[in-house]
Every structure is written in structure tokens, then in C-alpha cells.
Structure 1
Amino acid sequence: MAQATLTISSKNYSSWSLRGWLLCRMAGLDFREVLVELDENARQELLLLSPSVLVPRLTHGDVTVWDTLAIAEYLGETFPKAGLWPADPVARARCRAVSGEMHSGFHNLRSALPMNLKARHERFKIFSGARPDVERVKTIWSECLEASGGPWLFGAVPTVADAMYAPVCSRFRTYAVELAPKLAAYCDTVLAWPLMAEWTEGALAEPDEIVELEVEF
């Protein structure tokens, strides 16, 4: 099969690009990054690439997938030995549930705490509408870590859920969100992940200013 390509946007700002990239690397997929520059033509380019106007977009041979959870499912089926989903059916069901919740929810958190890997606030006031989202993330993490024993959400190795929540870890660090020790340790684990370090290195090399799209990308 021909080498895959993954279309992404800003490494500093695009949480969905990060999720898709992590999933591809976790699966062991050999792929080439295709960067969509976020200039005045970005929206038009993304419309041509993806009906949802979102990145990432994975092309693997004759297969094209543009939704992050669909990418996770495709990679899980294509590379079953990579262990993207937990082997235990009960844990796997919960992993799918919390991953889906991240995929479709937390809109106020996304708006109030946009991903910005270059930024770091010593203090940041979170508006009241986003606080329930923050608390829900904490609850999910607490329940998963309690059930699995950590250090990742579902045990000894990262899964789809960790890829889905990795941008939230970066947001909590950027905006100085207070966390209980066990949850802070989980964030530290994610942020020290070599794959996150590699992505962050690319983010820090980007220009500081971009033109933002009308949707989270």
C-alpha cells in the first residue's frame, strides 16, 4: 500500500491535528505530514479536502478518513497489534465512551481554553460556563485512573483515550488549571510523552500569528 498522508494544520493551535497525528504514530503508520497553511485560502482548501471543514484528514491507499474517531477506528482495525483500544471488552467500551464524549462535547472548554502550546499563564480565570466541562474532565480522568491503576487512562500503555485528552492536558497546563495530585501526575505523564515532545517542538517552531478559522481545528 502507498505511503499514507495526514493533512494537518497548526501544531501550536490545532488540537484535532494533534489527536490525529498521535493516533497515526501510536499505530505505527508510515505517513507523510501535509500542512495546510492557515492563510486567507485555508477555509477553501479545507473545504476541498474535508466535508466537515476540519483537520486531520488521513489518506491511506484508497482510503480517506477525515473524522478523528473514524481515524481511530480505522487504525485500530488496520493495525490491531498496536493496541489503540484496550484488549479487555469492558475497558474498551469505556475507552470508546470517554473518547466519544471528548469528540462531541466540551464546547465551552474548547472556547474558553483554546490550545496554545506556546502560552503559559500563572493564573487564569475560567468563565463559569466552562467550569462544568473542566470538572467533567477531572471526573473522567479520576474514574479511569482508579479503575486502571494508571499511569495512562487505561493502564500501562496509552490508548485512543489518551490521544483524545492529550490536548486537554496541554490546555490545563497553559491556563494553570488546578488539579489533584493524581490528575496532575497524569497530565505530567502525557506532557512528558516523547510523541508530545516531538509535536511540541514543531509547534514552537511555528510563526506566532495565524488567521483563525470559524471552527476549532
Structure 2
Amino acid sequence: MALQLVIGDKNYSSWSLRAALAVELSGAACDEVRVRLYQPDSRARLLSHSPTGKVPVLLTEHGPVWDSLAIAEYLAERFPEAQLWPQDVAARSLARSLCAEMHSGFVALRSHLPMDLARDQALAEIPAEAQADIQRICALWADCRARFAGEGQFLFGRASLVDAFYAPVAARLRSYRVALPQVAADYVESIYQWPAFVRWYEAALQEVKR
């Protein structure tokens, strides 16, 4: 069976974006099923696809795979030729650590700067705890770029699952006009030039207009 990725609203669902970028990186044929969030029937529709009632969920011949990190690992295992993780053991360990930190951390950033791709307006003030998250993220990005800049424009040179996980962060930083160090600003620009992200971003803007 062809893969199916169940996602939420493209403008707001950061976890859906991560999974969609991972699918694009894998090169797998995949149909998209979009469920509008925050609607009276959203929960029921989501439960018809996902045991958690949340997005994203990847529908596969092996059953549903839910949670963006599980989806990323499933795709990396199924499509090894796509090299979704860096091939070097040390780089791959670092990449997995970055994705895990993104997956479980940065709660203040998520709370105070929720993803809204159509937004283009700074906050009057960024709370201290969110600013601390931003500083940590910029430090992670700077470290990766210092190590792997010679191999390409993404965090580990070529686009990988790490970029899929941090693309929504880059989008938040641009949407809220956050002042960034040059290395971080350059990385955000790389995300906005990434064709896979551009396609999602343009679809999100059209979604908001409807």
C-alpha cells in the first residue's frame, strides 16, 4: 500500500510539518490526508486514523506509526538509501540528540511563539524563558554549522531529519521577527529556500486565505 500521512492545518501544525519534511527526504510515495484542527468533528476524524487522536500519523502496511520521531525513525529504516541520518557515527549520534532535545524540550518557545506561518509580527516582549530556549537553539545551530558548513547549507551539510525537526523553529523565529546571530539567520534563510519547506509554506498561506 502507498503510505498516507495524516496531518493537521499546515499553517499551525508544527509536528505535521516535521513529518511531512521527513517523508519528502525519504523520497517515498505518500498521499496526504489533511484534517482541519479545532473543529467540532476534529477529534472524531483524527481518531479514525490515529490511536492517539493527534497528528501526525503515518499509515503504513505495517500499521499506523504516530509521533513525528517514530515516523522519522520508521522512514530512516524503510528507506536507508535516502540517508535521512548522517552516515558518520559521531555525527549521527549528535543528530539524534538534537532531534530528541527538540522533541522533548523548548516548551517555553512552543508556548509563547506558536507556529503561525502566515504571521509577520514581533512580540512586544519575548519572555525570559522563551529567550533562553532561543539562545540554546542558536548555540546548537552554531555548533553544527561550525562542524559541517563545508558539506552544505544545512545543519549537517545536506538536508536531514535534523532540519525537518528544526524547520518549524526557524519558521517561528522568522514569523516573530526574532533578532538572531548571523549564523542562525543564515540557517533560517536556508530553510526558507529549501524546496520541500517552500511547498509547505506556500500551501499554508493559501490555506489561511481560504
Confirm or deny a common fold (TM above 0.5): yes
The C-alpha deviation readout for 1:54-90, integer Å capped at 9, x for no partner, is 2110012233201111111110011001010000000
Q: Counterparts of 2:107 and 2:99 in 1: how far apart (Å)? A: 15
3-state SS of paired residue (1:85): coil
Q: Counterparts of 1:144 and 1:13 in 2: how far apart (Å)? A: 27
Please tell me whether the aligned partners of residues 5 and 33 of structure 1 are also in contact (alpha carbons under 8 angstroms): yes
Unpaired runs of at least 5, structure 2: none
Q: Counterparts of 1:13 and 1:28 in 2: how far apart (Å)? A: 24
Query: What residue is the counterpart of 1:215 in the other structure?
Result: none
With the length of structure 1 as denominator, give the TM-score of the two structures.
0.91
Please tell me whether the aligned partners of residues 59 and 65 of structure 2 are also in contact (alpha carbons under 8 angstroms): yes
3-state SS of paired residue (1:126): coil
Query: What residue is the counterpart of 1:212 in the other structure?
Result: none
Deviation of residue 53 (structure 1)?
A: 3.4
Deviation of residue 124 (structure 1)?
A: 4.3
3-state SS of paired residue (1:64): strand
Q: Counterparts of 2:124 and 2:191 in 1: how far apart (Å)? A: 22
After TM superposition, list the pairs within 5 Å mapping 1:137-176 onto structure 2.
Answer: 137-149=137-149, 150-155=152-157, 157-176=158-177
Q: Which of 161-170 and 113-122 deviates more?
A: 113-122
Question: Which structure shows the higher helix fraction?
Answer: 2
Q: May I ask how many residue pairs the two structures share in their alignment?
A: 207
Unpaired runs of at least 5, structure 1: 210-217
3-state SS of paired residue (1:197): helix
Q: Counterparts of 1:207 and 1:135 in 2: how far apart (Å)? A: 30
With the length of structure 2 as denominator, give the TM-score of the two structures.
0.93
Q: Which runs of 4+ in 1 moved over 6 A?
A: none
Query: What residue is the counterpart of 1:26 in the other structure?
Result: 25
CA RMSD, 1 decimal: 1.5
Q: Counterparts of 1:12 and 1:111 in 2: how far apart (Å)? A: 16
The reply to whether residue 204 of structure 1 matches residue 173 of structure 2 is no
Query: What residue is the counterpart of 1:117 in the other structure?
Result: 117
Q: Which of 144-153 and 88-97 deviates more?
A: 144-153
Please tell me whether the aligned partners of residues 57 and 65 of structure 1 are also in contact (alpha carbons under 8 angstroms): yes
Deviation of residue 123 (structure 1)?
A: 5.7
After TM superposition, list the pairs within 5 Å mapping 1:45-194 onto structure 2.
Answer: 45-122=45-122, 124-149=124-149, 150-155=152-157, 157-194=158-195
Deviation of residue 48 (structure 1)?
A: 4.1
